[in-house]
Amino acid sequence: MKNINLETMDRRFIEKILYFDEIDSTNDRAKDLGTNTNIKSALLITEYQTKGRGRMGRSWEMPKGKDLMFSLLLRPGIKPMDAPKLTIVFAQTVVNVVKKLYNIGLSTKWPNDVIYNGRKVCGILTEMNTDIEMVNYVVIGAGINCNNEVFSKELNDKAVALKSIVKAEIQREELLQSLIVEFERLYNKFLVNGLLDIISDIRDSSAIIGREVHVMRKGEKLKYKVSDISTDGELLVVNENKEIEPLISGELLVPGIYGYAG
Ligand code: BTN
């Protein structure tokens, strides 16, 4: 497979674009740039990561040259509590772009996954460096299953490639370009009004509103029903006593998603 060609890319709001044939982790390099330079925004993209990271300290592995692995460095000038909303904005970006390019309806598993029929298409890892009052920078890292259709036994019923859904090879440059353009559009809305202007799309895209979800806390399985996603980006869930609780972050187990039986 040919490498991603970024020469013709319309870079929009991105001050610096860095391409790596191989790197440890685009999120780690983006954080270096955030800490050691004044660059306002950057896109780091690679064909392969030797130390790709997922959420909850997990490793994230993708074969060379088939998928999309990249990180965006941003300095949005927001409060730390608002940073997780950017994960939701990026997930919505992926949903919108895949609908527009391929006419495929993906959905989101709050807060950071984009899925198709209960399988993961895209994982997002958002990290930040912050003062008490204001975020210094945010890094949004995304891994999108594009053309690799062969997964390990462990991931086989949990992941799916866009190629298998669209039934055609995914042009990674085209997808990346559309993601940048659409993210810029939603990010500008976010900077003005937070999630307010896109919350109805976010709700429509959610795979879990109305469903039962389980959260493991101190070895105990807590069962909730998801009622909504708030404009603060929280998941509003109803507990077994019929009280509404906001979840700010966390790992959800959802019967029917990623092969979880409940
Ligand atoms: C998850 O679902 O756990 C999030 C996965 C995020 C993976 C991407 S790949 C590009 C960027 N660099 C990393 O090390 N991780 C993110």
Instruction: Give tens-digit pLDDT for 149-198.
Output: 999 998 989 999 999 999 999 999 999 999 999 999 999 999 999 999 99
Residue 72 — very low, low, confident or very high, per pLDDT cuts 50/70/90?
A: very high
Residue 51 — very low, low, confident or very high, per pLDDT cuts 50/70/90?
A: very high
> What is the distance in A from the centroid of ligand 1 to the CA of 240?
34
The finding on whether 52 has its CB within 6 A of some atom of ligand 1 is: yes
The finding on whether 158 has its CB within 6 A of some atom of ligand 1 is: no
> What is the distance in A from the centroid of ligand 1 to the CA of 4?
18
Instruction: Indicate the helix (H) or strand (E) that contains 129.
Output: strand 119-130
> What is the distance in A from the centroid of ligand 1 to the CA of 30?
12
Judge whether 144 and 121 are in contact, CB under 8 Å: yes
pLDDT for position 249: 78
Q: Report the pLDDT averaged over residues 86-103.
A: 98
Find the range with the poorest average confidence among 27-41, 186-200, 240-254: 240-254
The finding on whether 49 has its CB within 6 A of some atom of ligand 1 is: yes
Provide the H-helix boundaries in 71-171.
84-102, 162-166
Mean pLDDT taken over the chain: 96
| Angle formed by the axes of helices 84-102 and 172-193, nearest 10° | 140
Structure tokens at 146: 């594009």
> What is the distance in A from the centroid of ligand 1 to the CA of 58?
9
pLDDT for position 1: 54
The finding on whether 143 has its CB within 6 A of some atom of ligand 1 is: yes
Instruction: Compute the half-sphere exposure of residue 252: CA atoms within 13 Å on the CB side of its CA.
Output: 26
Instruction: Compute the half-sphere exposure of residue 2: CA atoms within 13 Å on the CB side of its CA.
Output: 8
> What is the distance in A from the centroid of ligand 1 to the CA of 185?
23
Q: pTM of this prediction?
A: 0.97
Nearest to 163 by CA among 171, 173, 153, 155: 171
The finding on whether 60 has its CB within 6 A of some atom of ligand 1 is: yes
Pocket test for ligand 1, best of 44, 94, 125, 146 (most atoms within 8 A of CB): 125
The finding on whether 159 has its CB within 6 A of some atom of ligand 1 is: no
pLDDT for position 236: 98
The finding on whether 119 has its CB within 6 A of some atom of ligand 1 is: no
